[in-house]
Amino acid sequence: MANLVIDIGNSFTKIAVFSFSELIWTKSYVDIDNQLIDDVLNDFKPLKAILSTVKKQHTETWEAYLSTRLQVVKFKATMAKSIKNHYRTPQTLGADRLAAVAGARALYPGSSNMVIDAGTCITYDWVDKEGNYFGGSISPGLNMRYKALNYYTAALPLLEADMQFNANSGDDTQTAIRSGVQNGIRFEVDGFIQSYFNTGAPMNILLTGGDSIFFDTLLKNSIFAAHIKIEPHLVLSGLNAVIQQHND
């Protein structure tokens, strides 16, 4: 039985098809239209779909069209049955954050998991081996930091991330910016990971999001490297776990 999973992010919309728990196809799009929906449905013939969005307001005409073709469920916090959600304001919790910890729970059910989602923003979330989720942290993402330095100053250039940069400091403006952004993220990530390890709970560190490979490179020499797992489709896996448990 195939399920269609759609995750509407800040920059891209990801579409995936799962056969039970196995991801069999996925792709990201900037724009979606009815023809694309037809192609996916005709190729994979899913029986139901789940849709999640981080946008507070959006009107996508293809969503209404999709609903005419098969059962579509819109993801909400109460649907993540595997997670005991202790967030004080669950109505404000980003759908992607909750779906990611649900994905961690589905993939590694007997473990505590720290989820680092490196996308437009960097989010840090932790779910224990019993499925308890108490919250996490949100900070600016890699590209957002570069853009902010350029936007809020008169003289600093707009740069892109450089995966080859590994100096502790910069000796000109460009390398000083790279050091501040990329080393700053490295120290931030190390600090968050260490704070969770200080609780004494053994755990996996799951990297996901568009910049997850960059973060893996950044942390390859970290003392936590043995605990790191790359899960690029963690949010999609979480949404699929939710739709498999949803019978309404």
Give burial (CB, 10 Å; 0-12/13-18/19+) of 136: buried
At which of 30, 48, 74 does a domain end? 74
| 185 vs 12, residue with greater confidence | 185
- Same domain, yes or no, for 34 and 152? no
Per-residue pLDDT averaged across 3-8, rounded? 95
Residues 149, 224 within the same domain: yes
Residue 158: domain span: 84-237
C-alpha span between 224 and 231 (Å, rounded): 16
Here the CATH number for the domain that contains residue 13 is 3.30.420.40
DSSP classification of residue 198: T
The residue among 237 and 224 whose pLDDT is bigger is 237
Same domain, 60 and 96: no
Residue 248 has pLDDT above 70, yes or no: no
State the binding site: 7-14, 87, 94-97, 117, 120, 173
Place of tokens 């992010």: 9
In sign, the C-alpha dihedral spanning 110, 116, 118, 124 is: positive
Numbered residues of the known binding site for ATP:
7-14, 120
Q: What is the pLDDT of residue 222?
A: 82
Give the separation between CA 53 and CA 99, rounded to whole angstroms.
11
Q: Is the pLDDT of residue 126 over 90?
A: yes
Give catalytic residue positions: 96
Number of Cβ within 10 Å of residue 82's Cβ equals 18
Residues 60 and 98 in one domain: no
Tell me, yes or no, whether 147 and 230 share the same domain.
yes
> Per the annotation, where are the binding residues for substrate?
87, 94-97, 173
β pairing state of 2-8 and 48-53: parallel
3-state secondary structure 145-174: HHHHHHHCCCCCCCCCCCCCCCCCCCCCHH
